[in-house]
Chains A and B, each alone.
Chain A
Amino acid sequence: MMPYTKTTNNSKRLSLLEIFGKILLNPRETFGYIIARSSGLEETFIFSIYVLSAFAKYAMIFLVAHQISGISDLLAAHSINFTVFSLGGTILAFISLFIFAGISHFLAKSARGVGEPREIVTLFTFFSVANTVVILGAAIALALPTPFDIGVLVFSIIIYLVWKAFLAMLAVEEVYGINQSEAFIAGVVAPLLLGVFLW
């Protein structure tokens, strides 16, 4: 099997908006750019956007759940309010990001990949882009009656998970230089089995 060749990037410096836009249009090349050229300040900003997007995702999901009478009663019975759900979900997303990156790093290194944990954490923060699918789906669901709101929300979460899996696999490939199947195991399968992929 041919060894994976990391994407090189010799183009001009990109703005933060361009980076986020290009994640959608050309994620592989953009990941290569970020690994090669991103600054600490950019990484900090991207990480903040990730945390904010995680909060927005759980907050919007709570609003949809709150408008469904059976689910809102269930949440109230277990004392799960907006604070607990959205902030708790955000904290879980924050912690699971590092656990996720740690698992991928360990498995990629086992597959003789070469890369830094900081790089994989930086690329994983671009899951915020996938979070927008859930945010938009929830926004649409809020305007729909039950059961359509449930359907739209579930569908958006499925799209989010598929897109997240794709980004995770690409990120592991780019950082560690391993092949696609190894990257899929390290970046998707293992974290999924260990329960850190879903957050």
Chain B
Amino acid sequence: MVEGISERKSKFIGFLIIITIVTGTIYPVFYATVNNLWGISISNFNGFNFNRPQRTISPDDFSKTVDEVNMTDTKLFENVTRLSVVANGKVVGLSVKWKDLGNIIWKLTVKAPTDGDYTLLTSTGFKDNNHTVFEFSLGGNNVTYYLVINRNYTVLDEISNTATDVGYLNVEYIQSVNKILSVNDLTASFDVGKIVLNLKNCRIQTLDLHSSVASIQLELQNVEVGNLFRATTDVGEIRIEGSNLKVAKDTEVTSNTGSIMFSINNLTYKSNSSTTCYIASDVGSIDFNITLLNSTEARVEAATNVGSVSYDGMGIKVIDEKKTEVILETVNYSEGKGIKFKLASNVGSIDILVIKQ
């Protein structure tokens, strides 16, 4: 009997010890992950300061069911002057696709949870047999969305239902006539959603994208970003490709653990402003490839803590070079006249190709 009690007591104590150790392992890992304590914040990085903005998106409940609400208001757009697309939801599926045809038709279908808290500031559409169709679906909680169409610039093409539980943003604009689409704000922030932008002939004042877990892919052709161009992810990769991109005064492409590819043919900037572009990843490689035409000058400062920096190009000179750092400039670059790029990676290699023609 005494032996039985002793046996139970020692088993219980042994269980407590094991549970303490296991809990003491799991809790710090969880805490460090949620509070982003694993990596080193990119600041005071090999000689230059870089303050990465902090975004906190808490995990969301993705199990909400979505009911369909059809809105068939046939109010006609007449005096619309700008296009703004804002999707800022924790669980949002948004797909916008349009092309310029001259005449416009919209059919707007909104899907939202019955218990959701959302505001649709503008929702309209009408249908005619001779016109194209715009179909816009979203589902999520606490969603703010407004869509205003500038009839003079664009029409909308047909989009299939794209609402999902985990959310994404897919925007594709293909212009068929020489007109510029003017977009005020294109902002999207998702926990799990992927962001894909395929834009051509667009002028955007603010392009601000964040995806916590998934990737951001931008295909930009003849796009100008006016004030702010920001693409950030926590885990996903970022790919920005295209040609004829005029970058904003503040451009920031950063990722905690994803790799970054920035490949633009004919990169320019507003000539009356000094422009600095930050491209950085805590744990991820950076592939930087730009071509500069005409009078665009640039300076590239690249540094990594654990990794290597390699560079190649034409029309550039090396200002400074170490194993993990390099500074390059185009021949006629001077401070305040040109684009300054700061590339930083804590753990990852940086490959640079700059061609100045």
A→B interface (CB under 8 Å): 15-22, 24-25, 49, 52-53, 55-57, 59-60, 62-63, 66, 76, 79, 81-83, 86, 128-129, 131-132, 135-136, 138-139
Contact = CB atoms under 8 A, between A and B. Distances in A.
Contacts of B25: 52, 55-56, 59
Contacts of A16: 14
Given A79-B40, A82-B37, A17 B14 contact: yes
B38 A132 contact: no
6 contacts: A17-B15, A17-B18, A21-B9, A60-B28, A128-B21, A139-B24
A25 B2 CA distance: 14
Contact of A81 (B7, B20, B27, B39): B39
Interface string B1-35: 00000110111111101101110110111011000
A20 B13 contact: yes
Contacts of A63: 28, 31-32
A189 B13 CA distance: 30
Contacts of B41: 76
Interface string B126-160: 00000000000000000000000000000000000
Given A81-B39, A135-B24, 4 more contacts: A53-B21, A56-B28, A60-B24, A135-B20
B21 A22 contact: no
A60 B23 CA distance: 10
Interface of B: 6-7, 9-15, 17-18, 20-22, 24-25, 27-29, 31-32, 37-41
A17 B21 contact: no
A132 B39 contact: no
Which among B17, B20, B39 has the greatest number of chain A C-beta atoms within 10 A? B17
Nearest to A53: B21
A59 B35 CA distance: 14
A60 B32 CA distance: 10
B20 A17 contact: no
Given A62-B28, A79-B40, A81-B37, A18 B21 contact: no
Chain B interface secondary structure, helix, strand, loop or mixed? helix
A76 B36 CA distance: 13
A41 B159 CA distance: 60
Contacts of A66: 37
A79 B40 CA distance: 7
B11 A17 contact: yes
B154 to A, nearest CB: 47
A83 B38 contact: yes
Contacts of A21: 9-15, 17
A86 B14 contact: no
Contact of A135 (B14, B15, B21): B21
A24 B24 contact: no
Given A21-B11, A21-B12, A76-B41, A49 B18 contact: yes
A140 to B, nearest CB: 12
B39 A83 contact: yes
Contacts of B22: 52, 56
Nearest to A138: B24
A82 B13 contact: no
B29 A59 contact: yes
B10 A25 contact: yes
Contact of A131 (B21, B29, B38): B21
A66 B21 CA distance: 20
Nearest to A26: B10
B35 to A, nearest CB: 8
A19 B14 contact: yes
B37 A24 contact: no
A39 to B, nearest CB: 17
Nearest to A22: B10
Nearest to A81: B40
A56 B21 contact: yes
Nearest to A87: B38
Contacts of A81: 37-40
B40 to A, nearest CB: 5
A161 to B, nearest CB: 18
